[in-house]
Amino acid sequence: MSNIISDVVKIKYNSFTLAPAMLSYYETCQVKHDNILLMYLLFPVVLNSDWINELPRVQSRSRLETWVKNNRLHIEGLSERMTTFQHLTETTLQYCIDMEYVRVDEKNNVTVVSNPYKKGYFMDAAIRLTKLLGKSSSAKIYATLGIRELTI
C-alpha cells in the first residue's frame, strides 16, 4: 500500500509538474544577488499545507520578519523539509535549464528566459512566497527563517 502512495506522490510532485511553480517564483523574485539559493525554499513552502493556508494572507507590503513572528509553528521543520525536497528542487531547476526556460549567470542569479506555462500546480503560491520574501538578501531571508546553513 505504501508503494502505491509513494508512486502517486512521485507522479504529482515531479520536475515536469513543478516547473511552472519554479518559473513563476523566479519571474517575480525580487532578490537580485545569489537568488539561486532561494530555490531550496520553494517546494518545502508551497507543498506544505500549513504554509499554503497562510500564504493567501500575504500581501506585497507584508514583511517576512513579522510573518515569521506570527507563524512560528510553520517555521519548525523547515530545514528538514528543505533537505527532503533538495533533489526534486535541483532536478526541477536542471529541467528548466535544459528546456532553456531559465539561465543562471556568474552571480548565481536565476533569470527566466521564457515561461510557456499559463497555469500549473502551485504557481500562485510561488508568487505569494516571493512577495513575502521581498528584496532581502538570501542570507538575511535564511537567517530570519532560522536556517543556519544549507547542506547542498
- Residue 53: the pLDDT is 79
pLDDT for 23-54, tens place per residue?
Answer: 999 999 988 888 999 999 999 999 988 887 77
pTM, two decimal places: 0.85
Q: How far apart are CA 41 and CA 64, in angstroms?
A: 13
Dihedral angle, C-alpha 48, 52, 55, 57, nearest 10 °:
-140
Dihedral sign for Cα 50, 131, 147, 14, please. positive
Strands (E), the chain: 102-104, 110-112
**Sign (positive or negative) of CA dihedral 123, 127, 133, 138:** positive
